[in-house]
Amino acid sequence: MELVGIRAETAGSIWKILVTLDDQVAVGDVVAILESMKMEIPIVAPIAGRVTEILVAEGSSVSGNQLVAMLEQVERDVR
């Protein structure tokens, strides 16, 4: 199974994490919310998959393109 990273597109701080380990997510599901430029920007799953790793904590600051979580790809959309 292929592992795919979810990245923060821009620098900011992680305001909320909305998934826990082993959660199944669908394409476009909001995984975390990034606070950047005073806006709550959703970080969404690029593929459907299972969360295998969460690499940031709420309140931690991230730089642009930093990995936030890892997904293990599933064959089809679970939604």
Partner 1 sequence: MAWLDDVEEIERRRARALALGGAERVQRQHDAGRLTIRERIDALLDPGSFVEMGALAGEGDGEKFLPAGYVGGLGRIDGRDIVVGGEDFTVRGGSERDGRTKDRMILEIANEFKVPTVLLHDGAGGNIENTLRRGYMQIPTWSNDGLEVDLLATVPVVAGVMGSVAGGPATRAMLSHWSVMPKKSAQLFIAGPPVVKRAIGLDVTKDELGSSEMQVHASGAVDNEGEDEYDCFRQMREFLSYMPRNVWELPPHREPNDRPDRKEEALLSIVPKNRRQPYDMKSLIMMVVDDGIMFEIRPHHGRCLITALARLNGHVVGIMANNPMVNGGALDGPGADKQVHFMELCDQFRIPIVYFVDCPGFLVGPDAERSGALRRGMRAFWTTFSITVPLIQIIVRRCYGVGSVTSSRTDHLKLRIAWPSGEFGGIPIEGGVDAAFRRIIESAPDPVAKRVEIEERIGRLRSPLLAAEAFGVENIIDPRETRPLVIRLLEMAQQKRGYSLGIKSRPGVRP
Interface with partner 1 (CB under 8 A): 9-11, 35-42, 63-64
DSSP letters, 21-74, are: TT-EE-TT-EEEEEEETTEEEEEE-SS-EEEEEE---TT-EE-TT-EEEEEEE-
Nearer to partner 1, 20 or 63 (CB): 63
- Nearest distance in Å: CB 57, partner 1: 20
Minimum distance between the CB of residue 10 and partner 1, rounded to whole angstroms? 5
- The minimum distance between CB 16 and partner 1, in angstroms, equals 12
21: which strand partners? none
